[in-house]
């Protein structure tokens, strides 16, 4: 037996031992009942289990509750397949409560979080837990994530919950949080002494992914879909070029949503030339952080040793590093899918057409070509004159007023600038259904309306 085969065998044996030991723990609410084959999903969707993080759990606008969970793409996929599918539904207003407006400008809905369930299904099909990294699927998470994990699927891992459900089809969308914290916080180093990096090292990502993949193989489904990692720098509106904050500021006060914007975020310098600093990526999270007196586009704005140095900001080198790491993650996920004859889907290929999509709208007698689905200031890349730059803000950036997009960040995005809206989940379900049909011969509806 070679080293690779031995490693796989050891992981499988360890997984089997974990499952057998876990089976000794009483989980009366997890008794499996027979489910008949479904009309459109056929034998493949007799028992569908979805694993993952907040994207799969149905998290929207910074919160989770039953009204959002039932709109998540796995629920929609199961409906298209005619399959029974149970989610661990959280009481409203939510745990946590969703934002009432983009990025919590007016706070969250309700007055207090409601961290309890309103159902107790015998089998849980959506075992995803918001905040999960790859390692959290097979290793019970620590910190605040532990409470949410327990609320949703009990004191067990997603791997165990998936295996106990005896799936015939598994979808796995994991890895986004292995890069998201670094992307949004701008901090690529260790989270704390002894903790993992905010940007998970590739070797660690691959070894952890192998454990999860082995667990799916152990469950022996008829098929599986592995979904890659979204590059938030490319597709998540919570990150915008620094120029956006300068151009969208109140010209009378020089402030964006009350926070001063440093002139180094101006897209043009005093000579009318493009300013490279303005195209560093800035996280919307800086707006609400009182520790930062202004929005600044210079990575060296704070002295060495100051914990604020480079936070909420990605320079061009960091943008390249994170993008390359995500590409490596996705290569590993794709290789795992192909090695097991499963379906692989790259979510970035789903999102890119919507970044380019334009809708012609006439406002006050003037015609605009607006990006209504996703607002990432994508038109700023090709703007070089003051007139072009200002037009790009109106058509492709998150703005208020006549040229505003639905949900501020675009109709596919919820109020947190990271997670899909209800429309976004419909699009995902339609695109995933199309790929599943192609690969497995099912007849799921591919409609996104």
- Rg of the chain (C-alpha set): 23
66, two tokens: 């039953």
Q: Lowest-confidence range among 25-34, 301-310, 385-394?
A: 25-34
User: Measuring CA to CA, how many Å separate 208 from each of 10, 85, 179, 344, 356?
Assistant: 14, 27, 15, 18, 35
Mean pLDDT within 200-223: 98
d(CA 107, CA 111): 10
Give the pLDDT confidence of 153-172 residue by residue, as tens digits.
Answer: 999 999 999 999 999 999 99
Give pLDDT, residue 304.
95
**14 inside domain:** no
153 or 103: which leads in pLDDT: 153
Percent of all residues in the chain with a pLDDT value above 90, rounded to a whole number: 87
Phi, then psi, of 60 in degrees rounded to 5: -140, 150
> Highest mean pLDDT: which of 6-20, 28-42, 368-382?
368-382
| DSSP secondary structure letter of residue 30 | G
Mean pLDDT over each residue of the chain, to the nearest integer: 92
- Residue 292: the pLDDT is 98
Residue 13 has pLDDT above 70, yes or no: no
Answer whether residue 354 is part of any domain: no
Is the pLDDT assigned to residue 11 strictly greater than 70? no
Q: What is the pLDDT of residues 247-277, one digit of tens each?
A: 999 999 999 999 999 999 999 999 999 999 9
Report in angstroms the alpha-carbon separations of 135 from 3, 18, 76, 141: 22, 15, 27, 8
Place of tokens 């489910």: 35
For residue 49, the enclosing domain spans 37-348+440-449
**Structural domain includes residue 241:** yes
| Average pLDDT of span 177-205 | 89
In a domain, 3, yes or no: no
CB-based contacts of 278, cutoff 8 Å, min separation 6: 241, 242, 243, 246, 264, 265, 266, 267, 297
Number of domains in the chain: 1
Asked whether residue 237 is domain-assigned, the answer is yes
CATH number assigned to the domain comprising residue 53: 3.40.50
Is position 430 within any domain? no
Residue 22 has pLDDT above 70, yes or no: no
pLDDT beyond 90 at 29: no
279 within a domain of the structure (yes/no): yes
339 within a domain of the structure (yes/no)? yes
Tell me the CA distances in angstroms from 126 to 140, 244, 250, one per residue in order.
Answer: 17, 38, 44
């Amino acid at each position: 037996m070679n080293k690779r085969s031995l490693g796989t065998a050891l992981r499988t044996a360890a997984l089997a031992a974990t499952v057998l030991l876990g089976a000794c723990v009483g989980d009366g609410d997890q008794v499996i009942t027979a489910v008949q084959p479904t009309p459109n999903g056929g034998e493949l969707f007799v028992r569908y289990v979805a694993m993952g993080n907040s994207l799969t759990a149905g998290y929207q606008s910074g919160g989770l509750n039953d009204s959002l969970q039932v709109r998540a793409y796995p629920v929609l996929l199961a409906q298209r397949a005619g399959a029974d599918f149970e989610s661990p539904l959280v009481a409203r207003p939510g745990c946590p409560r969703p934002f009432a407006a983009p990025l919590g400008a007016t706070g969250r809905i309700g007055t207090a979080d409601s961290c309890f369930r309103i159902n107790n299904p015998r089998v849980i099909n959506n075992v995803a837990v918001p905040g999960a990294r790859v390692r959290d699927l097979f290793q019970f998470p620590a910190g605040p994530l532990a409470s949410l994990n327990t609320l949703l699927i009990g004191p067990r891992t997603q791997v165990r919950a998936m295996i106990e459900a005896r799936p015939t089809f598994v979808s796995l969308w994991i890895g986004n949080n292995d890069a998201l914290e670094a992307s949004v916080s701008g901090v690529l180093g260790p989270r704390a002494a002894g903790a993992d990096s905010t940007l998970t090292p590739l070797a660690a990502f691959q070894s952890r992914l192998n454990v999860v993949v082995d667990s799916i193989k152990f469950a022996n489904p008829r098929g599986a879909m592995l979904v890659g990692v979204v590059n938030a720098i490319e597709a998540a509106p919570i990150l915008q070029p620094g120029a956006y904050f300068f151009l969208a500021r109140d010209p009378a006060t020089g402030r964006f949503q009350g926070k001063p914007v440093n002139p180094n975020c101006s897209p043009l310098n005093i000579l009318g030339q493009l300013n490279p600093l303005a195209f560093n990526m800035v996280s919307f999270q800086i707006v609400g952080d009182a520790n930062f007196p202004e929005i600044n586009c210079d990575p060296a704005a704070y002295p060495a040793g100051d914990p604020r140095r480079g936070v909420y900001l990605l320079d061009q080198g960091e943008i390249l590093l994170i993008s390359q790491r995500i590409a490596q993650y996705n290569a590993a996920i794709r290789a795992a899918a192909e090695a097991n004859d499963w379906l692989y889907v790259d979510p970035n290929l789903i999102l890119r057409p919507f970044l380019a999509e334009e809708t012609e709208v006439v406002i006050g007698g003037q015609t605009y070509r607006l990006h209504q689905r996703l607002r990432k200031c994508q038109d700023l890349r090709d703007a070089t004159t003051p007139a072009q730059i200002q037009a790009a803000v109106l058509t492709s950036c998150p703005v208020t007023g006549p040229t505003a997009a639905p949900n501020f960040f675009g109709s596919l995005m919820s109020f947190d600038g990271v997670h899909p809206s209800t429309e976004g989940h419909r699009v995902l379900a339609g695109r995933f259904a199309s790929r599943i049909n192609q690969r497995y011969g099912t007849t799921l509806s591919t409609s996104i309306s």
